Amino acid sequence: MNTSWWSRIYTPLVIAFVFVVGMSVGRHFLSGSSYLGSQKNSKLDKILNYIEDDYVDSINIVQIEDQAIEEMISDLDPHSSYIEPEDYHTVVDPLLGNFEGIGIQFRMIRDSLTVMMPIIGGPSDRAGIKAGDKIIIADKDTIAGQSMSSQDIIKKLKGERGSQVELKIFRSYVDSLLNFNVTRDVIPTFSLDAQFILDDSIGYIKVNKFSATTIDEFDAAIDSLLQNGMTRLILDLRGNSGGYLRAAIAMVDVFLKEGKLIVYTKGKNRPEKKYFANAHGAFENQALVILIDENSASAAEIVAGAIQDNDRGTIIGRRSFGKGLVQEQLDFSDGSAIRLTVARYYTPTGRCIQRPYKDGTEAYYADHYHQIANDLNGITDSIADSLKFTTPQGKIVYGGGGIMPDVLLKMDTSFNFYLYNQLIRNSTIIEFAIDYYNQHKQSLNLYMDMYEFYSQYTPKKIIYKKLIKIAKQRGVETTNKEVVNSETIILNAFKAELARLIFGDEAYFYVYLQDDKAFKQSIDLLQ
């Protein structure tokens, strides 16, 4: 064998380092030899060469190499990872701001790929595909009833721009399958789920990730809301798992005055680097509330931490995830990649909010689940006993893992979470809403906008009874107490799904949030 196992993997013409998952959006290019050449005669290299040259049976040396890499990376920390070639686009594309495909939001409902919403103006929308359609066959391969994962479905439907996919679709109240030839195109992905204004002055923006297009979307949303009279803002980062560091820094820059420290990073081989607010931001002086929860992580925590440490706004919700590690991405010529933790980030007061991971990845994520369980059981968050830091105005903030909100909210346990979650997870509410919409489309489309729909449409109690009946048919256990305690929130979820079908995602959030405790408390605080 003339080449080492390292050289087969590490010899692209260039090796691209992409700061991701809480990192910079910029790319830096280094040659492969300058980075890894010194390791080509390592013990691991010799062992793999020996196996390939002299092992008794034929083997897949590439597979062995992949397994060796995965094992090495898994022992480092919970957020360093190896990305195999077949998973590369699935992992990386969501942060790029677009992908090539047919343009649908979908969900697997009882082994059927159900179209939740065709992206407006996208290939499926242009072809005539509608919400509620079920894709049965794609390019002569049966999808329905195959127990395929969402990732498998995505791989089947994505493809190069200009290529075609032949779909056979089942549509309610149509006797036979419908045929569609859909030409794939570039589909934009958006970081903002919703933006709207309340009471003529309170703006709301929901951000789901920090991607390459986030700051452009965010700046446009801020400008639009300001033009419509916004003087106070609720920024919702709940469930936001992070993304590019540069996007988070740019977002904070909108709120802080020039010269204020936003975040700094440092690692064993990465010197300390500080990031400061620059020129005049569009929302430096107005009232600000940020919502976070246990699934707000990484770049979302950078935003919350910078605002909290600079005494700029109020953080409401539950303790965030606690990811304070910085990854760089190393791309290989075979289409695989490594995301390696190279530094930690620190909030302006000096907090590293990374949760401990010395007991391994399994214990690390188990601790996160315990945190959620504590919230459900009303147990006081333990972070209050960890390291204390002081902001410029004398407010005490806490390190040791995650961002502790200024206003800590416990999970609402006044209704039955089991019943509600079951109806959500098995898509009972969504599927029922789609059927209801298709049956009452003519009357529902008479509403002028989401505001009129919310104020004038009230779901009848018979809808709740039907949902409970369906739930029982699907094996969900219910009791009379659960029915009473869950009726309001389940009917509101149904109403929100209807709003999405009529007016889009923004309407879903507007309706759903009206029954959201953290959202209500944010409005009360701002008022």
What is the C-alpha to C-alpha distance for residues 33 and 45, in angstroms, rounded to an integer? Answer: 15
Catalytic residue among 309, 375, 406, 505: 309
309 is catalytic: yes
* Three-class secondary structure of residue 47 per DSSP: helix
**CB under 8 Å to 467, separation ≥6 — which residues?**
423, 428, 429, 432, 490, 494
Of 202, 172, 434, 397, nearest in space to 301 by CA: 397
List the catalytic residue out of 298, 336, 486, 522. 298
**Alpha-carbon distance 16 to 121, whole Å?**
34
For residues 515 and 90, give the distance between their C-alpha atoms in angstroms, rounded to a whole number.
Answer: 34
- Six token digits for residue 411: 């999970």
Distance (Å) of CA 513 to CA 91, 451, 492: 30, 13, 9
**H or E segment at 275?**
strand 270-276
Distance CA 2, CA 274 (A): 45
Single-letter code of the amino acid located at 129: I
- Rounded to 10°, the helix 480-503/505-513 angle is 150
Query: DSSP string covering 398-456, please?
Result: E-SSSPPPSEE-----SS-HHHHHHHHHTTHHHHHHHHHHHHSHHHHTT--SHHHHHHH
Angle at 7 between CA 4 and CA 13, to 5 degrees: 160
The catalytic position among 158, 168, 323, 495 is: 323
**Encoded tokens for 107:** 């969900």
Catalytic, 323? Answer yes
Active site residue 93: no
* Active site residues per annotation: 298, 309, 323
